[in-house]
């Protein structure tokens, strides 16, 4: 009988903290707010001691992760090095230690001050109230899940502007392959977010068939807010000859994807084609020169070989003014 009584006493001592935890309640269960950077607001947590014994509570703020069902999955060690993402640095509790008499309730104000440079996203914290003789003991109960508390869910909306403006898109009118930088474009970032544009220029022939592509920003260059950046690329004219259309398709965005478009026309004539065409024209020119010279020689020879005969009858006399050509009179008597 004595052993049984001793076991009951020991069990009561062991279960006392659990019973005490089950009898101290906190409300609301969840604080859910959608805010922006620099926002400041306050909430009130009500704690009630439903036991017949006084209780000493220590408040602590912990970063947590939640599972798909909304239950606490793990406690994340606080990181004060980056206050733009440390949710625990945004929460302040006026009283870290509370004494609750039996059956008593108290209201505890909680202050929230969002960092001015807080990054958009969803953050979770747990404001725990562990019982114990000192803070270390109370915080150990919070981490182990043996303490009451309130889950805080803070959603920071992304109010930054993502926008990219295409200010120029040029393609050389005649592409021969002799030089580089036959394709150039300039973009301006008037928004608030650094952007890394990607995309391609698609080449089409006059029948609307795709004949080639050029990858844009292959080096992944980032354009800062307010910056204007210029890009240059080359179009290889190999296998191209004639008129073509260059269709620029540039994609950008971090939160949401957006695109800009533009079109330019050009003519492609590879150097080998031009050399062949020049050689053909040269040969034709030489041939035309020889043909022309031969034609002129033939014409001259035919002109000197023809004679026109004239017959003048004697006894006919006319005045000199009647002749178009003046004939000199012979001084020799007939």
The whole-number pLDDT of residue 333 equals: 55
Q: What is the mean pLDDT of residues 59-88?
A: 80
Q: DSSP per residue over 15-48, as a string?
A: HHHHHHHHHEEEE-SEEEEEE-TT-EEEEEEEEE
Among the listed residues 115, 245, 276, the one whose alpha carbon sits nearest the alpha carbon of residue 169: 245
Q: In 122-168, where does DSSP find H-type helix?
A: 135-144
- 125 with 253, same domain: the answer is no
What is the percent of the chain with per-residue pLDDT over 70, rounded to a whole number?
76
Compute φ and ψ for 63, nearest 5 degrees: -80, 135
The residue from 235, 252, 269 where one domain ends is: 269
Distances (CA, A) of 19 to 5, 14, 138, 166, 298: 20, 10, 15, 67, 130
pLDDT of 300 strictly over 90: no
Please state, in angstroms and rounded to a whole number, the distance separating the CA atoms of residues 219 and 198: 10
- Say if 334 falls within a structural domain: no
Q: What is the mean pLDDT of the chain?
A: 81
Task: Map residue 109 onto helix, strand or coil.
Answer: strand
Averaged pLDDT, 183-204: 93
Question: Torsions phi, psi of 85, nearest 5?
Answer: -130, 0
Write down which residue in 131, 156, 181 finishes a domain. Answer: 156
| Same domain flag for 51 and 94 | yes
- Comparing 13-22, 77-86, 188-197, 296-305, which segment has the lowest mean pLDDT? 13-22
Per-residue CA distances from 263 to 67, 250, 257 (Å): 49, 12, 21
One domain for residues 181 and 110: no
pLDDT value, residue 16? 41
Q: What is the pLDDT of residue 6?
A: 34
Q: Among all chains, which residue has been given the structure tokens 């017959």?
A: 311
The residue-averaged pLDDT of 101-127 equals 92
pLDDT band at 1 (very low <50, low <70, confident <90, very high): very low
How far, CA to CA in Å, does 214 sit from each of 22, 182, 184, 194, 219? 67, 11, 11, 24, 13
pLDDT-derived band at 142 (thresholds 50, 70, 90) equals: very high
Highest averaged pLDDT of the listed ranges 79-88, 140-149, 296-305: 140-149
Centroid of chain to Cα 74: 34
38 and 105 belong to one structural domain: yes
Asked whether residue 176 falls in the same domain as residue 136, the answer is no
Do 259 and 134 share a structural domain?
A: no
CA gap 91, 123 in Å, rounded: 12
The pLDDT-based confidence of 18 (bands split at 50, 70, 90) is: very low
d(CA 90, CA 83) in angstroms, rounded, equals 8
22 and 150, same domain (yes or no) = yes
130 belongs to a structural domain: yes
Instruction: Identify whether 196 is part of a domain.
Output: yes
Percent of the chain topping pLDDT 90:
46
Q: Is 253 exposed, middle or buried (0-12, 13-18, 19+ CB in 10 A)?
A: middle
**Which of the listed residues 224, 249, 269 is the one where a domain comes to its end?**
269
Q: Are residues 151 and 23 in the same domain?
A: yes
Residue 313 forms part of a structural domain? no
Tokens (6 digits) for 273 = 């084609």
Mean pLDDT of 90-103: 90
State the pairing for strand pair 40-49/105-113.
antiparallel
Residue 187 lies in a domain: yes
Summarised one tens digit per residue, pLDDT across range 261-276 is: 999 999 988 766 655 6
Domain that holds residue 32: 17-156
Q: State the pLDDT at residue 20.
A: 42
Tell me how many degrees the CA angle 178-183-187 measures, rounded to the nearest 5.
Answer: 155
Longest Cα pair distance anywhere in the chain, in angstroms?
192
State how far the Cα of 291 lies from the Cα of 95, in Å rounded to an integer.
111
Q: How far apart are CA 6 and CA 17, in angstroms?
A: 18
Residue count (the chain): 334
Shared domain for 57 and 151, answered yes or no, is yes
- The span from the CA of 41 to the CA of 90, in Å, is 11
Mean pLDDT value of segment 129-139? 91
Q: Is position 323 within any domain?
A: no
306 found inside a domain? no
Q: Rounded distance, CA 22 to CA 147, Å?
A: 8
Q: Domain tally for the chain?
A: 2
143 and 179 belong to one structural domain: no
Which residues are registered as beta bridge partners of 74? 65
Which of 58, 74, 77, 78 lies closest to 137 in space, CA to CA? 58
Q: Looking at the structure, do residues 81 and 58 belong to the same domain, yes or no?
A: yes
Distances (CA, A) of 24 to 20, 105, 141: 6, 10, 14
| Residue 180 resides in a domain | yes
Are 179 and 98 in a shared domain?
A: no
Using DSSP bridges, classify how beta strands 148-156 and 30-35 pair: parallel, antiparallel or unpaired.
parallel
Which CATH number does the domain housing residue 185 bear? 2.60.40.10
């Amino acid at each position: 009988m004595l052993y049984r009584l001793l076991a009951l006493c020991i069990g009561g001592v062991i279960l006392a903290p659990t019973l005490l935890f089950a009898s101290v309640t906190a409300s609301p269960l969840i604080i859910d707010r959608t805010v922006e950077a620099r926002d400041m607001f306050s909430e009130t947590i009500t704690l009630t001691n439903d036991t017949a014994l006084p209780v000493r509570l220590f408040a602590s703020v912990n970063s947590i992760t939640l599972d798909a069902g909304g239950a606490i999955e793990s406690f994340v060690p606080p990181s004060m090095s980056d206050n733009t993402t440390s949710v625990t640095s945004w929460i302040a509790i006026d009283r870290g230690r509370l004494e609750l008499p039996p059956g008593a309730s108290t209201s505890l104000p909680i202050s929230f001050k969002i960092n001015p440079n807080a990054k958009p996203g969803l953050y979770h914290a747990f404001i725990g109230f562990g019982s114990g003789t000192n803070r270390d003991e109370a915080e150990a109960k919070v981490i182990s899940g043996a303490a009451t508390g309130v889950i805080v869910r803070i959603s920071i909306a992304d109010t930054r502007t993502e926008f990219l403006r295409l200010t120029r898109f040029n393609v050389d009118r005649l592409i021969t392959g002799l030089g580089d930088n036959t394709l150039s474009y300039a973009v301006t970032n008037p928004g608030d977010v650094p952007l890394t544009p990607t995309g391609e220029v698609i080449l089409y022939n006059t029948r609307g068939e795709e004949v080639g592509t050029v990858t844009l920003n292959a080096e992944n260059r980032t354009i800062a807010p307010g910056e204007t950046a210029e890009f240059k690329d080359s179009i290889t004219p190999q296998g191209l000859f004639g008129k073509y259309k260059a269709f620029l398709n540039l994609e950008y965005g971090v939160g949401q994807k957006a695109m800009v478009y533009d079109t330019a026309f050009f003519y492609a004539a590879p150097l080998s084609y031009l050399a062949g065409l020049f050689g053909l024209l040269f040969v034709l020119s030489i041939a035309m020169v020889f043909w022309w010279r031969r034609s002129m020689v033939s014409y001259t020879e035919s002109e000197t070989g023809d004679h026109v005969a004239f017959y003048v009858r004697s006894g006919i006399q006319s005045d000199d003014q009647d002749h178009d050509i003046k004939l000199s009179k012979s001084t020799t008597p007939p």
